[in-house]
Amino acid sequence: MERNMKFSREYEVRGFEIDENYHLKPYHIASYFQDAMAQNFADNMLAAYDLQKEGRTWVLSDLCIDFLHQMPRWRTSVLVETWVSSIRGFRLTIDFRVSDSRGTPISQGSSSWVIVKKPGNRPEKIEPYARKLGEPHSPLYPGYRFHEPDLDGSPSPLPYGACGLRHPWEEDQKAWSICQPIRSYDIDFNGHVSNIRYIAGAVEAIPVELRSSLRPSSFRIKYLREAVLDQVLVSEVRTVHEDSDAIEYHHILKECESAVEFSRMVSVWKR
């Protein structure tokens, strides 16, 4: 009999996760999803600390999040469901859905993961690990394919074609940038910047007076490299499309001195 691969966990929106209107900050959807996923991994002896015993670790290469409804308010509960939707070569695709206390879906998305061998970040075949979670089923985005992960330190594999980055930035586009020193509270258990921090850093470059009048529609993130303590990052954002209904921003997070890129993101916001 096929095992039920879907894993669910309930979370209460906490005070340090909300904005000035008492709604969950959008990037914390990714926090809930990844915690639920990690809980499932731990139940199946696939947690990061399990892999560390073998000199291996998980690497997130891509993440997409669609926002379907208004973010939940403080002290309300949400249900997070995660499941494996694809096992292919070196890649494990995990989808998720977040619903409010009434069962209304408020967000959903997909993520791409690989296991690498340390040192050198050599990718490992994913199937022997992923099969512990059961058989893939019910992809949220049938036919959708993430760009292949960059694991060898080579230049960015997505100049303008992947992750929705369709063309170079033009001089007449609205643009903003901010510097962001990496502090110890940005570092996760792997010793580098948490992937949630990349999203928050990208969003932070959008002027607050603009963000406060918009609601998120979708995020598409490509993770390129690991950032570590005391590096200074520059978060750049430009408006690439704007109409009466929505604004599309393209984001780059890079090191201040070397301009080496750590992530790219496309975000769409509704008016």
- Give yes or no for residue 145 having a pLDDT over 90: no
Cα–Cα distance list, 110 to 95, 156, 181, 186, 207 (Å): 4, 22, 29, 23, 27
Domain 1-150 and domain 155-271, same fold? Reply is: yes
> pLDDT of 11-38, one tens digit each?
999 999 999 999 999 999 999 999 999 9
Tokens of 141: 């985005």
- Model pLDDT, residue 78: 98
pLDDT-derived band of residue 150, with 50, 70 and 90 as boundaries?
very low
| Domain range annotation of the chain | 1-150, 155-271
CATH class of 155-271: alpha beta
Q: What's residue 191's pLDDT?
A: 85
Confidence of residue 3 (pLDDT cuts 50, 70, 90): low
What top-level class would CATH report for the domain 1-150? alpha beta
Nearest to 100 by CA among 122, 73, 126: 73
Q: What is the DSSP letter of 156?
A: P
For 63-80, the pLDDT digits (tens) are: 999 999 999 999 999 999
Phi, psi torsion values for 145, nearest 5 degrees: -130, 130
Could you give the residue ranges of the DSSP H alpha helices within the chain?
28-43, 48-52, 127-130, 195-204, 208-211
Burial class (CB in 10 A: 0-12, 13-18, 19+), 171: exposed
Q: What is the pTM of this model?
A: 0.88
Q: State residue 166's pLDDT score.
A: 45
- Please state, in angstroms and rounded to a whole number, the distance separating the CA atoms of residues 125 and 17: 36
pLDDT value at residue 189: 83
